[in-house]
Structure 1
Amino acid sequence: MAETGDRRAGKAARLPRLSRRALLTGAAAGGGLALAWAIWPRRYEQQADVVEGETAFGAFLKIDGNGQVIVMVPQAELGQGVFTLFAQMVADELGADWRTVAVQPAPPGPLYANRLLAREWFDGPVRQAFGQWGEKAIDEYALRSTLMLTGGSTSVPAFADDLRQAGAAARVLLCMAAAERWAVGWESCDIQGGIVTDGTRRARIGELAREAAAFDLPAVLPYRPERRDEALLGAPLPRLDVPSKIDGSANYAADIRLPDMIYAAIRQGPVNAARLDSINEAAARKVPGMIGIVREQGWVAVTARNWWAANQALDRLDPVFVLDGPEVDEASISAALDAAFDGSDGARYFRRGELGPVFEGARIVRADYDVAPALHLALEPMAATARVRPDDVEIWMPTQAPVPARRAVARALDVKESTVTVYPLFAGGSFGIKMEVEAGVQAALIARAAKVPVQLMWSRSEDIIRDCPRPPARARMAAKLGPGGLVEGWSAKVAAPATLAQLWRRIGHGEARGQALAATAGEADALAVSGMDVPYGIPHFAVDHYPADIGLPTGRWRGNADSYGAFFTESFIDELAVIAGVEPLSFRIQMLGGQPRLAQCLTTVATLGGWQGGVAGSGQGIACHMMRGGAIAVLVETALEQGRVAMKRIVAVADCGRLVNPDIARQQIEGGLIFGLAMALGAAPRYRRSLPEGMRLGDYGLPRLTDVGEITVEFLDSAAAPTGVGEIGVPALAPALASALSTLTGKRYRRLPLVERAA
């Protein structure tokens, strides 16, 4: 990592804790020997948990005597289709009959760790400490810590190889069992539709499963060709989770029912509440059905026979909190972002060439951009059900981080982690907020106090007040244009909190929100400017992050920093195109000689969308983005009707490598585009006295079905490895819409949301 100047020299040597702490302390304390121990690979002989009649084939697959294929899924199903995608990858390599394929959430185990997300999260500091050994060190840390996490569109790319290997291994073992029965070479056997055959004889995989598990695998596994007429991979197979969601049998947090269970409502105060000051207990106890009150540091809960009674009693309880530090409002957030640029904690994370000589004495184009905080506003508020008994604790909750949640509950109750079981449930939306673990901890503490099972459900207002939003950010962009409109120099300085470092302290270290805020206040982080290493061939280029202490806890969000990074970058590209007098599509294409996939996305979307060149009055805008190996281009067409943005069309073309299931991929891109539209037009709270002013979904300008317009999504045929599709649809929508609005009004839109929020 290169630094921005002498005043920041030495910043690269300061490393955040990794637990991030467990890995780094070994290198600091014991030198080479400790490093070798930290990264020395261990052998994990992990098998899927089985019941009678089932046979495990490694950690990801088991087959029962009836031939049902059960795929173990360590990732949370958040509506992104991961249950179906994982099953599809295994079933294709195995040769299973899709009608016999089922899935089961995986229990904690080292091989279920999301090493890819761990690498993204920790790569910067660990690579600084360990150099070329950094990736191996992170992988070992993730495995030993059972770091099961869902997020960052990493599910398919993180586990694709493991799942393909699981299917291939089981196919070979089943063929070996059949071959021994038939006295033929196993290489002459194959499996199609769940039937093992050598071309003459046939046997069902269920009847061979127990025998097959006793054979040894060959040194090299034979894999199926990826493009075959009968392939399940790449087919638009129906989702496995949809039937249960349609008939109501799928369990969400609010559906859990346990014997003697009661209900709880909670009040946690503003974002910087330090402690509970007073309550009106007498008034609360007048509510029929009210049972008890549970007080903890920073929050209070009421239990009752039903949630409505608990919530009514909570309102009458009228809790008053004492704030820690100054109040948070829009003015304080803006001042903190400005102050960050004047601090000494900034660091440079992307660099090409030398900007100094290019900018010196030259005419520089400058523009400043802002994004406001953005709330998650998932359909399902935070919720959890807990049962606490002397020897075991059970938690039912939607979670993207089941193992950190289990550790947090064990820490809060002061019990052994092995006594805590977390049952991950379907999530009714997340967008990153279900990475937080506090609802499970709260439910466990309330259940312990009540001595009966408790279901905790946050109210909508509580979900809004205690949200950890997408961070606000401010960018100072500068560029020098050369002959022909080519960009010769580019500087992006971004002030924003180190959000993902802050989140890790909450879920990885168990720190309270205030502790995590204080610990990361001066921590520059490459993840805070992800997506800003632009794909354009700009010879002199730099991106700096300036950590901002805004006093507001922030969290993971769909697209993370790419969501605002693309807005800064693509909006500035559009402004430069206008100044250079070059049509916006051509302006981009001339700088994409090294990125043919992205260039093809742009030319294809222009053709499909009937691109008119971004001329005045067209209502059209175009933008593109690359993210984790995928590429996308988005064209929007909009109008202004009575001062309101009226979307006409959204056209997107993406290259996301080989698609496991094109229907699910299309759904995810469409969902990302609509999410990006919500970010562009709303989702931003007004903070006053540390509280958001709006307490309902209707207060946040979220798009309705009639607001979206026609959506077209196309994928380029690609032989590249599969990439995540859950987030890549988000970043390019806002800059494309900003560009489109500029053609209608003649002014530039440099702030998200793009339209003024009603007071």
Structure 2
Amino acid sequence: MATSAKDTGVTRRNLLIGGGAGVGLLVAWSLWPRVYPPNLRAAEGETLFNAFLKIATDGRVIVAVPQSELGQGVYTSLPQILADELGADWRNVAVEPAPIGPLYANTFLAGDAPEDTIPSAWRSVAHWATGEHDGRAALMLTGGSTSVRAFEAPLREAGAAARALLSMAAAERWDADWETLDAQDGFVVNGPQRIGFGELAEAAAGMELPDHPPVRGGTQNRLAGQPLPRLDLPSKVDGSARFAADVRLSDMVYASVRRGPYGGGPLIRIDVDAAEAVPGVIALFENPWWVGAVASNWWAANRAVEAMKPAFGAPESPTSGESIDAALTTALETGEGKRVFGRGDMAAAYAAGPIYRARYSAGVAPNAPLETLSATARITGDRLEVWAPVQAPALARAAAARAAGLPEAHVTIYPMLVGGGYGRKLETAAIEQAVMMTAKVKRPVQLTWSRIEETMQDGFRPPALATVSATLGEGGRVTGWQTRIAAPGTVSQVTARLAGKGGAEGEADRAMADGAVPPYDIPAVAIDLLPADIGLRTGLTRGAAHGYTAFFTESFIDELSRQAGVEPLSFRMQMLGGNTRLAQCLSTAAALGGWDGGGAGSRLGLAAHSAFGSHIALLVEAEFDALRRIRVSRAVAAVDCGRVVNPTILAQLIEGGILHGIAVATGRAIEFEGGLPAARGPSDLALPRLADSPEVTVEIIASQEPPGGATELGVPPVAPAIANALFASTGRRLRSLPLGARP
């Protein structure tokens, strides 16, 4: 008897829904129950096949995506994996966010992957989330360039299982052997015979899943590796895509907020009369650490917040550029340090020859996402609904429940499209504030942080100060290498904020040294981390610590090549040893970019980096323009990210990362006044404009290695490549980020 769309009493199919038909879905069975009830819902005319797939009677293939769409393309790349294995017609593929549930856990972050391929910050957040919430659903995390790596196997197995069931249903009609059938373009085919998925769906879902659903072979009629159009693009172009600020509810009001400086005291006073005089104001909010206003429109709410002129207690030691520099310098010069990586005999290496040293620094860097923190909340009886851009929906639900004083089971999170953030949308402050406001005014509240608030309260990439030293042996090869990095703790801050405990600065964690191990065959290497208390709110950003550790490493490699008298490309190539993938990236980027040796006046710089299970080499052409501003005119990247799902999306991610890296490397240094950044918006950060963007070329190197991460890969090599190009052009070595406007 056929199983209806609402029926979940499937026998063998529960294996796929609850744990997986292969290695990719068997993770953590010793820690979690083997079978979970599916909570993906099927609408009228849809048939539920497994936790990731529904097929409608009209032939639509609906894929549930467990990762947030931040602009990185997961609403296309992840469905493309399943659709390829299923044999679907891409024109009939649709996507929806997966509900919160243990089946959608990003276990890759929690320990399934090699340690050096996952940013330590995200791994630490994942470990904290499972310990804090004691549930696998808390591992629904989007970050660390892990989406394809985490879900390629589950999605491929889900597609294979559904294709097997559809083939079995068709075989019954044709009296054929189902294992001889194929699927393509949304049909099960048997020579000239064809039956559409929609016609077979209900009968197929009621069948017994075979022990080993076959995975597709061959290269014909495949979707994987094709530059398929993005599923989210049409709606973003015509404006129908809904972000958090697009939510409209009956009787909804609008809100704005303002917080005090990090490390400061509670609220001292506000001007209530001035705020209430703003037309449209409905209610004002006073809390120890933030104030807010609700009005009939957002502009009135924001004007009321400004009219309040809230005064908070000043920090005992307000953050300033000088105080940050002093804290980092003290830590670097007097701290003991913690060795986070060691290889070989450092003492012997350093005793063999002269030691070369340099000091590098990286300033505070902003997230500056296009979309500020925002959330819409509605309470109906004892039920709470929240619409928000989230990277961790289960953690967002926990924060909302905590703010409302409700059980998590009474809270529904609607994940919206995310307008950028790469770590910023892990934060839940706006959700908590919106929930508290809606509870008070008894109406749905849409809170949108102003651009000023977003800029001042950003979760900045932490600053760092480092000394890098090395010895050179025969032929100019590096024989010993040590990097000592002073940086503050970030993971403890982020997890404390997620737990609703404020987020006081904690001790430095090894995440602050991610990417510091050189990707070269150096016999003796030591990486030491020294904690520094800088009195600043920090958070997770695109590229994270790789954004400065690659700058330290690749700039110093360039310095050493000059010291050894070896051309920079050859200097790198001779030390790559078994890292043939990075070697191919370097040679490819150099050839495509017209590498000229990087001699005096060349304006070309090279840098390379291995991270997130991927490899990249970057050649840039850069110089100072007539106004003494840094101008990057060309960027040529060669990347090896293993198997590629969608080459167009991959190229876009690398291009975006390169432009992000240019903004961080050449933007304006952030100054602080009274514990708050002086910047009030993007214009104060001197970010590059579209007219300033260079010509970017991305060469994707074919590979059959497992997929690697790409979203953050383009960021790390940018700053050192620019610095190396400027050295070639001017003869002056720039060792601080941002690189500044003058040589």
- TM-score of the aligned structures, taking structure 2 as reference length: 0.92
Kept in 1: contact 2:568–2:598 (CA 8 A): yes
Q: 2:578 aligned to 575, 580, 594, which one?
A: 594
**2:63 is equivalent to residue 63 of structure 1:** no
In structure 2, the residue matched to 1:755 is 740
**2:413 is equivalent to residue 422 of structure 1:** yes
Give distance in 1, aligned partners of 2:46 and 2:523. 59
**2:557 is equivalent to residue 573 of structure 1:** yes
Give the superposition deviation at 1:311: 1.3
Matches within 5 A, 1:630-649: 630-642=614-626, 643-649=628-634
Q: Which stretch shifts more, 731-740 or 687-696?
A: 687-696
Kept in 2: contact 1:271–1:465 (CA 8 A): no
Partner SS, residue 546 of structure 1: strand
In structure 1, the residue matched to 2:18 is none
Give the superposition deviation at 1:84: 0.5
Give the superposition deviation at 1:120: 8.4
Q: 2:515 aligned to 506, 510, 531, which one?
A: 531
Give the superposition deviation at 1:341: 2.9
Give distance in 2, aligned partners of 1:559 and 1:243. 28
Kept in 1: contact 2:284–2:294 (CA 8 A): yes
Q: What do the CA deviations read for 1:630-689 (whole angstroms, capped 9, x no partner)? A: 100000012221211122210000001111111111111000000000010116421121
In structure 2, the residue matched to 1:357 is 348
**2:144 is equivalent to residue 152 of structure 1:** yes
In structure 2, the residue matched to 1:103 is 95
Give distance in 1, aligned partners of 2:551 and 2:92. 45
Q: Report the AA paired with residue 460 of structure 1.
A: R
Give the superposition deviation at 1:138: 7.5
Give the superposition deviation at 1:706: 2.1
In structure 1, the residue matched to 2:637 is 652
After superposition, the Cα gap between the structure-2 partners of 1:120 and 1:620, relative to the gap in structure 1 and judged at 3 Å, is farther
Q: Which stretch shifts more, 731-740 or 498-507?
A: 498-507
After superposition, the Cα gap between the structure-2 partners of 1:593 and 1:121, relative to the gap in structure 1 and judged at 3 Å, is closer
Kept in 1: contact 2:314–2:674 (CA 8 A): no
Give the superposition deviation at 1:330: 0.7
In structure 2, the residue matched to 1:176 is 168
Give distance in 2, aligned partners of 1:632 and 1:424. 32
In structure 2, the residue matched to 1:165 is 157
Q: 2:297 aligned to 271, 296, 306, which one?
A: 306
Q: Report the AA paired with residue 102 of structure 2.
A: P
Give distance in 2, aligned partners of 1:115 and 1:86. 16
Q: What do the CA deviations read for 1:430-482 (whole angstroms, capped 9, x no partner)? A: 13211111111111111111111111111111001110100101111111111
Kept in 2: contact 1:47–1:57 (CA 8 A): no
In structure 2, the residue matched to 1:9 is none
Q: Report the AA paired with residue 106 of structure 1.
A: A
**2:654 is equivalent to residue 669 of structure 1:** yes
**2:708 is equivalent to residue 723 of structure 1:** yes
Partner SS, residue 525 of structure 2: strand
Kept in 2: contact 1:115–1:139 (CA 8 A): no
**2:718 is equivalent to residue 739 of structure 1:** no
Matches within 5 A, 1:434-583: 434-507=425-498, 509-514=499-504, 517=505, 520=506, 522=507, 524-583=508-567
Q: What do the CA deviations read for 1:673-732 (whole angstroms, capped 9, x no partner)? A: 000000101164211211111212111121112212211110111111111211101000
Give distance in 1, aligned partners of 2:86 and 2:295. 51
Give the superposition deviation at 1:601: 0.5
In structure 2, the residue matched to 1:266 is 257
**2:686 is equivalent to residue 701 of structure 1:** yes
Give distance in 1, aligned partners of 2:114 and 2:604. 39
Kept in 1: contact 2:275–2:307 (CA 8 A): yes
After superposition, the Cα gap between the structure-2 partners of 1:340 and 1:68, relative to the gap in structure 1 and judged at 3 Å, is same
Give distance in 1, aligned partners of 2:288 and 2:56. 49
After superposition, the Cα gap between the structure-2 partners of 1:667 and 1:367, relative to the gap in structure 1 and judged at 3 Å, is same
Kept in 2: contact 1:169–1:217 (CA 8 A): yes
Give distance in 1, aligned partners of 2:167 and 2:468. 61
In structure 1, the residue matched to 2:595 is 611
Give the superposition deviation at 1:340: 2.2
Give the superposition deviation at 1:398: 0.8
Q: What do the CA deviations read for 1:26-56 (whole angstroms, capped 9, x no partner)? A: xxxxxxxxxx997366333435321222111
Give the superposition deviation at 1:505: 2.9
Q: 1:398 aligned to 389, 392, 404, which one?
A: 389
Kept in 1: contact 2:668–2:687 (CA 8 A): yes
Partner SS, residue 46 of structure 1: coil
Give the superposition deviation at 1:496: 1.0
Q: Report the AA paired with residue 400 of structure 2.
A: V
Give distance in 1, aligned partners of 2:649 and 2:359. 37
After superposition, the Cα gap between the structure-2 partners of 1:466 and 1:318, relative to the gap in structure 1 and judged at 3 Å, is same
Give the superposition deviation at 1:545: 1.2
Q: What do the CA deviations read for 1:72-98 (whole angstroms, capped 9, x no partner)? A: 011111111100011111110000111
Q: What do the CA deviations read for 1:322-357 (whole angstroms, capped 9, x no partner)? A: 134311111111111123235666321211101112
In structure 1, the residue matched to 2:672 is 687
In structure 2, the residue matched to 1:112 is 104
Q: 1:279 aligned to 270, 277, 283, which one?
A: 270
Give distance in 1, aligned partners of 2:431 and 2:668. 26
Give distance in 2, aligned partners of 1:701 and 1:613. 32
Kept in 1: contact 2:253–2:295 (CA 8 A): yes
In structure 1, the residue matched to 2:281 is 290
Give distance in 1, aligned partners of 2:360 and 2:340. 19
**2:300 is equivalent to residue 315 of structure 1:** no
**2:177 is equivalent to residue 193 of structure 1:** no
Q: Report the AA paired with residue 264 of structure 1.
A: A
Give the superposition deviation at 1:422: 1.1
Give distance in 2, aligned partners of 1:75 and 1:37. 22
In structure 2, the residue matched to 1:30 is none
Give distance in 2, aligned partners of 1:752 and 1:546. 19
Kept in 2: contact 1:76–1:150 (CA 8 A): yes
In structure 1, the residue matched to 2:17 is none
Give distance in 2, aligned partners of 1:419 and 1:49. 18
Give the superposition deviation at 1:118: 2.7
Q: Which runs of 5+ in 1 are unaligned?
A: 1-35, 129-133
Q: What do the CA deviations read for 1:1-39 (whole angstroms, capped 9, x no partner)? A: xxxxxxxxxxxxxxxxxxxxxxxxxxxxxxxxxxx9973
**2:198 is equivalent to residue 206 of structure 1:** yes
Give distance in 2, aligned partners of 1:527 and 1:122. 15
Partner SS, residue 503 of structure 1: helix
Give the superposition deviation at 1:511: 2.1
After superposition, the Cα gap between the structure-2 partners of 1:382 and 1:37, relative to the gap in structure 1 and judged at 3 Å, is closer
Give the superposition deviation at 1:734: 0.5
Give distance in 1, aligned partners of 2:252 and 2:338. 52
Q: Report the AA paired with residue 475 of structure 1.
A: A
Q: Report the AA paired with residue 606 of structure 1.
A: A
Q: Report the AA paired with residue 179 of structure 1.
A: A
Partner SS, residue 544 of structure 1: strand
Q: What do the CA deviations read for 1:235-286 (whole angstroms, capped 9, x no partner)? A: 1111000111111111112111111111111110212233111011011111
Q: What do the CA deviations read for 1:340-380 (whole angstroms, capped 9, x no partner)? A: 23566632121110111222374210001000011111111
Give distance in 1, aligned partners of 2:178 and 2:595. 57
Give the superposition deviation at 1:756: 4.7
**2:198 is equivalent to residue 217 of structure 1:** no
After superposition, the Cα gap between the structure-2 partners of 1:156 and 1:361, relative to the gap in structure 1 and judged at 3 Å, is closer
After superposition, the Cα gap between the structure-2 partners of 1:116 and 1:450, relative to the gap in structure 1 and judged at 3 Å, is same
Give distance in 1, aligned partners of 2:300 and 2:475. 69
Partner SS, residue 273 of structure 1: coil
Q: 2:357 aligned to 355, 360, 366, which one?
A: 366
Q: Report the AA paired with residue 513 of structure 1.
A: G
Give distance in 1, aligned partners of 2:571 and 2:655. 27
Q: 1:620 aligned to 597, 604, 617, which one?
A: 604
Give distance in 2, aligned partners of 1:708 and 1:171. 45
Give distance in 2, aligned partners of 1:428 and 1:447. 24
